[in-house]
Amino acid sequence: MHILVCGGAGYVGAHAALAATRAGHDITVLDNFSTGHRPAVRWGRLVEADILKPETLDAAFERPVDAVMHFCARSLVGESVQEPYAYYENNVMGTLNLLQAMRQHDVGKLVFSSTAAIFGNPVSALIDEDHPKAPINPYGASKLMVERILADAASAYGLRSTCLRYFNAAGAAPEEGIGESHQPETHLIPNVLRAALGTGPELRIFGDDYDTVDGTCVRDYVHVLDLADAHLRALGLMSDVDGAHAFNLGNGQGFSVRQVLEAGRQVSGREIPHVQAARRDGDPAVLVASSSKARSVLGWNPVHTQLESIIDSAWRWHQAQAY
């Protein structure tokens, strides 16, 4: 297949491009480099374009495209609260522009990078696909809007789509020179490792009085290469089945902030400078996925399930400081 990877210079997009290339697919990466990294574009050809500028998108479809993987998004929760218009413009309007271009060029398959943020505060220990969807920030709301658009597009235009709702993407492919680098960095594992290396500030632990094993928040971490594998499996599903589909992707087990901190110390062999801080508004105590639907329908089984293994891959990439 010829796959257009929109946002392929970003964290998950670059790993998806790697996985698709390893599987024998032809890749075109589309990115505007607002947050992506040029050194991460290592597979396929590059089209520098912007989903907010529809006139730039045609260049990505000069060669017939069989399917699109869509990772272009603003994704900082706090920023989305401060700048909601920018999030709805990029994540919703930008996606509509991409969908219009796909329709014009007769491309009928899309894998969409969604998020656990569509669920809001959890009402059950494990979050499955039927969990109530009540996002508490514009980022989650914008992603849920796109999921609704894709469901409508399936009915109106026959678009086949799969929404993959990540929990906490983590890890890297250090042997391929790609990993996680955001500015600002808001994710726990890279901040633990940057603190260990001295390339980032001391880690701040937000809250120590939650009803969890050690009082700190518990999250579900899934290796980015396992996420990439799910994207390929979604393409296989859409080759056989019509309609709009959605799957939650996580390990199904949670780790507390202090457990991640300790695993980072064990992997790096370094102390992690850290301070205790007050709770952040809107942080649930526990967020853990049920991925049983992805396992049964997609045949998806995460390979990198041990926290130490996930952190080790990220640690080796951060040490190399590739970008």
Residues involved in catalysis: 139
User: CA separation (Å) from 182 to 34, 150, 162, 320?
Assistant: 11, 28, 26, 16
Q: Are 154 and 109 in contact (CB under 8 A)?
A: no
N residues, the chain: 323
Which residue type, as a one-letter code, is found at position 44? G
Q: Which of 230, 233, 250, 80 is nearest to 170 (CA)?
A: 250
Name the packing angle between helices 224-240 and 11-22 (round to 10°). Answer: 60
Tell me the CB-side half-sphere exposure of residue 92, using CA atoms within 13 A.
17
The Cα–Cα gap between 171 and 223 comes to: 5
User: Which value, to the nearest 10 degrees, does the dihedral of the CA atoms of residues 199, 87, 221, 132 take?
Assistant: 160
Place of tokens 């709702």: 165
- C-beta separation of 101 from 57 below 8 A: yes
CB-neighbour burial class of residue 24 (10 A; exposed 0-12, middle 13-18, buried 19+): exposed
Q: Single out the residue of 207, 196, 109, 94 nearest to residue 153, CA to CA.
A: 109
Query: How many CA within 13 A on the CB side of residue 279?
Result: 12
Q: How far apart are CA 144 and CA 118, in angstroms?
A: 6
For residue 222, which phi and psi values (nearest 5 degrees)? -125, 135
